[in-house]
Amino acid sequence: MRDGVKLFTLIAIPNDATGPMPVVLTRTPYGAARRASRTDSPDIAVALPVVDEDLVRNGYIRVYQDVRGRYRSQGKYIMTMPTRGPYNSGRVDQVTDAWDTIDWLVKNVPGNSGRVGITGVSYDGFLTLMALLDPHPALKAAVPVNAMVDSWVGDDFYHHGAFRTVMLEYIYRQTASKDASHGIPWGYHDFYSAVLEAGSIGELGRRYGADRLPAWNRLLDHPAYDDYWQDQAVDRLLASAPRRVPVLTVHSLFDQEDIYGPLASHAVLAARDRKARKTHLAIGPWCHGQMTGDGSALGSLKWGADTSLQFRTQMLQPFWDHHLKGVRPAEPLPPVLAFETGSNRWRRFAAWPPKDEVEPARLYLHPGGGLSFDPPASAGEPFTEFVSDPAKPVPYRVRPIRPSFAGGDSTWRRWLADDQRPFADRPDVLTFVSQPLSAPVTVRGEVAATLFASTTGADADWVVKLIDLYPNEVPAQPELGGYQLMISGDILRGRYRESFGVARPIPPGEALPYRVSMPHVNHTFLPGHRLLVQVQSSWFPVYDRNPQTFVEDIAWAAPDDFQKATHRIHHARGAVSFVELSVQTDGAQQLKGKG
C-alpha cells in the first residue's frame, strides 16, 4: 500500500485459460484463506466457494485479500474505518487500499486482461462500495452483496436508535484478536438471560471485557445519529463520488444483518446513472449472504427451486461477462430482477421501487383487532392499550435463544422467517388481522407504519411487523398451517421521533405520531391468507431494552430506571394508526369495507 503496509493476497489463476483473463477481487476482514476455501482439491473450481466456480471455469482470475490488520496482513485494523476526513486524519483508508490493490494486480499478475471486478458480502460488500468512491481506471464492474451502508439507520449496529445487542459478539470477534480466535464465554445457554441479567448494554459489555475494545466504546459513545454516523453513511458518500463503474447490487428480503443498506446505496447509484445503463439490482428470498450458496429454502419456507443458482446463472455471470469480457448477454439484463415471495416467481422491473402497476394504500389498525384499507368508524373504541414491562421483554424468537454466532446450534441466519405465532398471544403484543382474502394482494417496495401512540412513561420503543397469516390448513406443507410469516418489521426508539440526531423525552399521556420505516417487500398474499400487523414495545435481545423513563444514556441505564408503562395505540379520527404500502393496482379493493 502507499504507506508501505503489505496486505496478504491470495491469487487463484486457472491453468487452462486461453487469452488474457479478467480479475475478480474480494477484500475481507474475515480471513482471505477461509473465504477462498470450500474443499481440498487440485481443481480450483472445486476448491474455491461455489459462487466462484463459474468464474474460474470461464477464465477469470479470482483474488481474495485480508484487509490491513486482519489475519496475515500488516497494519492496524479499525473496524469500519472512516474515510479520510474528520474521523480519519491519516493518509490511508479502505478507498486508497482498494485503489492500490487493483493497481498492483493489473501490473503484477501474469495473464490478466487489465480489467478488474470487485465483489463481497456484508463487510466485504461495504469494502466493495468503498472502491467506488475513487475507482481505479481498471475497475470495470462491482457487485456489492448485502453490504452494510448505514449502521445507525438500519444495518448492523442500530435501527432507528435502538441498539442491536446481538452484535456484541461480532464486535468482540472482530476486534479482540487479529484472527477472530477470541469469542465471548457467555456462561449462559440462553442469550436472553445473559442480556437481561446484565441490565444495561454498557454493563453487559463491561461484564465480558468489551469496554476495553475501542470499537465497542465508539458505538456506545454515539447513540444518536450524529456526525460520526453521517460521515460514514456510504449512500451519502456515493452521492458525491464518480459514477463510472457498472454496479449490480444484491439485496436479500430476509437479511438479518444488513436489510437497509443495499437498497439505500442502489437508490443513489440509480439516481446518478444518467443513461440507466450501469445500475442493476437483484432482490432474492434469502438471508444474509445466502446468494452465495443454496437458495432453495429458508427455514420452513420453500421456493420451488434453487433461487441462488438461478440468480447466479441468469444475472450474475452475464453481468461479469458483459463488463469484464465484453460478451453481451443474449438479452439485456433487467434494471431490477426481484423474487416475489408468496407467488414464488422472479419478476423484472424498470426501477425499484416499481413506479407502474402500484398505488399507495393505507392499512388501518381498527379497535377490536381489525385491519382494513378502510379507516375505522368514528363510533369505535378510541385506542387499544397494553402494559410494557422491561423486566419481561418480548423475545424476538422462541427461547432459549442461542448467541447469534454460537456456531452449529445457532439458527440466527433464518430468524426473520420464524413463525410469529408464539408472540401473538402475549398481552404486551397487539394483533390486528384482516378478513381472509378472496383474491391475491401484491405489495411492492417501501413499507412504513404511522402509529398515533401515547405512553405513561417518558420514552418508548415502537415495533411494527407486517405479517402474512397462512390458512389454518396447508395440505401441501402441513407445518405451515396457521403460520405467521413476517414480511417486514422494524423498530423506532421514541426519543428520536422528531430528529434522529436529538433525543427528546416523550410527554406522558400525549398521543403523538411515530413513523416507523420498515424494510421493502415484494410479496403476494394469496387467496385464503390474511394480512396481520403486530405492535409491541420490545424485541429482545436483538435490540436493547428501553427503560421507558427518559435517561440521557440508555447504554448505562440503572436498574431503577427500568419501569412499566401503559402504551396506547390510537384509532380516533385525526389520530388513526396505519401502515403505508404500495399495492398492485386493484389489490386494495379486496379489504375495502371489511375492517
- The Cα 362–Cα 29 span in angstroms is 43
- The Cα 366–Cα 576 span in angstroms is 9
CB 1 within 8 A of CB 68: yes
Q: Beta strands of 32-125 (E only): which ranges?
A: 61-66, 112-121
Cell of 96: 486508497
SS3 of residue 116 by DSSP: strand
What pLDDT score was predicted for residue 50? 93
Q: What is the pTM of this model?
A: 0.97
Contacts for 536 with CB less than 8 Å, ≥ 6 apart? 386, 388, 394, 423, 426, 428, 429, 430, 463
The mean of the pLDDT values for the chain is 95
CB 347 within 8 A of CB 523: no
Q: Among all chains, which residue has been given the C-alpha cell 487440485?
A: 42
CB 545 within 8 A of CB 153: no
Q: Which residues of the chain have pLDDT under 50?
A: 595
Q: What angle do CA 155, 266, 67 make, to 5 degrees?
A: 60
Contacts for 191 with CB less than 8 Å, ≥ 6 apart? 166, 400, 401, 402, 403, 404, 541
CA proximity to 30, closest of 62, 63, 66, 6: 66
- The Cα 51–Cα 143 span in angstroms is 12
- The Cα 169–Cα 165 span in angstroms is 9
Contacts for 329 with CB less than 8 Å, ≥ 6 apart? 318, 321, 322
Please report the domains of the chain, with CATH numbers, ordered by start residue.
Answer: 9-161+223-349 (3.40.50.1820), 358-591 (2.60.120.260)
What pLDDT score was predicted for residue 16? 84
- The Cα 364–Cα 26 span in angstroms is 46
- The Cα 56–Cα 14 span in angstroms is 6
Q: How many CB atoms lie within 10 A of CB 19?
A: 8
Contacts for 15 with CB less than 8 Å, ≥ 6 apart? none
What pLDDT score was predicted for residue 380? 79
Q: What angle do CA 348, 52, 249 make, to 5 degrees?
A: 35
- The Cα 313–Cα 212 span in angstroms is 46
What pLDDT score was predicted for residue 170? 94
CA proximity to 505, closest of 539, 448, 547: 547
Cα Rg for the chain, rounded, in angstroms? 24
